[in-house]
Each structure stands twice: as structure tokens, then as C-alpha cells.
Amino acid sequence: MTTVVERITTGRAGFSVEFMPPRDEADEVRLWNAIRELEGLDPAFVSVTYGAGGSSRDRTLRTTGRLAQETDLVSMGHLTAVNHSVAELRNVIGWFAEQGIRNVLAMRGDPPGDPMGEWVKHPRGLEYAEDLVRLVRDLGDFCVGVAAFPYGHPRSADLDTDTRYLVRKLNAGADFAIAQLFFQPEDFLRLRDRIAAAGCQTPLLPGVMPMTTPKVLAKTVELSGSPVPAAIARRLDPLVGDAKAFRAEGIDIVTETCQRLLAEGVDILHFYTFNRSKATREVVGRLGLVPVRS
């Protein structure tokens, strides 16, 4: 069974995509349309985010299972330690194995409600993502990824501390890392340099999201933890009242970022899709990352 790390280390440029558990039936239809539209473009792998609790977690598992059973895509389940005992985490990991899912993105997760609220470990749970990396590794032959943060994790005191713990987590048994959203290629490349300077060669994928609307731009600010840089604000701010022009410029900006990353030796770009395929297909097409058919 092909693993994520096998798919991202072929030396060929490509892309991967991230979906979210569908909220309702209409969302599920949208999601599966997006999956079918992207499938033919041969993404390196597809992943499904792990919900904050109960029914959303069930929907994550159902979607990841369906991807493994009903498509030829290499699928990865996200998993977080938040509000889980070790016994529950073992069950989920066992369920992944039963479904033929061999790839897990292991994270700590955020406290439900307020992501910056107090982190309280489950009394029989895990404290850090690195503990989850070890647990997944101990339970079987999994390919394990972790999260990385170009501007530092919001709870980290400074970038040096952030790098130290990130490298510790990678060395605990991670095969690769995926970076949180960022605005400019240098922000990602500096993170890659920090990891390399610490002597760690684990592959790192950039997280990419086409900034198609002011709402998506605001989401990028929220997830990345960075304000919009002046160079990008100068291009997008004047277009806020013109949806078509904003979208076109947003796609241009992301395409330029991706071109620079590919020129800097990045092989795989990881797209956050929010269960829509159009913008990803557009950027991937402009980058020439579509499979060559004979």
C-alpha cells in the first residue's frame, strides 16, 4: 500500500489536497464532487481534517474510510489528542488500520471553543503531539505526519523554542510535516531553513490556500496568525468591492507564491480546499502540475 511519504519523495512536482468532514448532506455532495473533480489530476494524497468532537469526528472517520474504500487516492486521516484518552486514540488508530488507512497526521489539537484557551490534557490522555506520534508508531506500520508553523505555533514563546520542539516532534518518528498557511514564500522557506539548520532532513510541505474572497483572506490571517503583509494588502485592498477582480488577483498571488516555492525545490504543495475544487484546479493547472496523459 502506497504511503504519503512515498508519494511526496518521488522528486516530481505535484500537489496534495485537504478536505474537511462534511457538515450536512449538501456539504457531503459538494465534497464528493470536489473529490471526483480532483481525482483525475492525480494528487499525491488527500487528507481529511479531524473534528473538534462527537459527530464531527464520526464524519471525519466516515469520510476518510470512504476515500480509502471507494477511490484509488492515497488517503490520510488527521487525528488530534484533544479530549481523547489514550484508549480512545488507540481505537481510532485501530479503526484507521482496519479501513486500510496507513497515513496519519498526528496533532495535539486546540481546546474546543477558544483555540487560545487553557490547554487541559485529558486525565488519561496525551500532552503533546510528539506523544501521539510515538503512540501511532507503536501501534503499527503507519506513515506519520505532523503540523509545523511558519510564524511559530501561537503558544510558543519565540521561534527558537518553537523550532526546538518541532524538531523534537519530527525526531520522535514523523515522516513529514505540513506547514500552516503563510503569506509569502520567504515565510515558509525560513521555516524550512530553521529545520535544516537543526540537522533535520524530514520533508516539509507548504500549506496553500488560494485567497479568492475577503473571507478567505481573513481565514488565512486567522489560521496563519499573521497580519496581511503590506505588499499583498496593496494588491487586494483596492479590489474588495469587486468580487471577480479580487478573485483573479488572489489566484495570481497564490500562483506566484507556488511558482517561487517550486523554484526553491519544493516538490509538493498542500492545498486547503474547504471542500471546493475550482480554485485548486485553476492554480494547479497554471503551475502545469496536471498529469501528462499519453
Which residues are tagged catalytic? 18
Select 108 or 247, whichever has its Cβ closest to ligand FAD.
108
Select 49 or 212, whichever has its Cβ closest to ligand FAD.
49
Select 49 or 247, whichever has its Cβ closest to ligand FAD.
49
Helices (H) and strands (E) in the chain, counts: 11, 8
Largest CA distance in the chain: 56
Interface residue with ligand FAD, options 165, 198, 259, 260 (CB under 6 A): 165
Select 14 or 150, whichever has its Cβ closest to ligand FAD.
150
Q: What would the grid cell of residue 157 be?
A: 514563546
Give ∠ CA 46-44-53 in degrees, rounded to 5.
Answer: 20
Lookup result for grid cell 457538515: 23
Q: Rounded to the nearest 10 degrees, what angle do helices 278-287 and 25-39 cross at?
A: 10
The minimum distance between CB 189 and ligand FAD, in angstroms, equals 17
Q: How far apart are CA 267 and CA 52, in angstroms?
A: 31
The minimum distance between CB 270 and ligand FAD, in angstroms, equals 7
Our finding on whether 56 is near ligand FAD (CB under 6 A) is no
- Distances, alpha carbon 208 to alpha carbons 72, 193, 226, 274, in Å: 23, 19, 15, 12
Our finding on whether 269 is near ligand FAD (CB under 6 A) is no
Stretch in the footprint of ligand FAD (CB under 6 A) among 34-42, 125-133, 208-216, 242-250: 125-133
133-162 residues in contact with ligand FAD (CB under 6 A) are: 147, 153, 155-156, 162
Our finding on whether 109 is near ligand FAD (CB under 6 A) is yes
Our finding on whether 39 is near ligand FAD (CB under 6 A) is no
The minimum distance between CB 79 and ligand FAD, in angstroms, equals 8
Q: Which of 2, 25, 7, 12 is nearest to 275 (CA)?
A: 25
Contact assessment for residue 259 and residue 286, using Cβ atoms and an 8 Å cutoff: no
Contact assessment for residue 267 and residue 194, using Cβ atoms and an 8 Å cutoff: no
Contact positions vs ligand FAD (CB under 6 A): 49-50, 52, 78, 80, 107-110, 128-130, 147, 153, 155-156, 162, 165, 169, 178, 180, 207
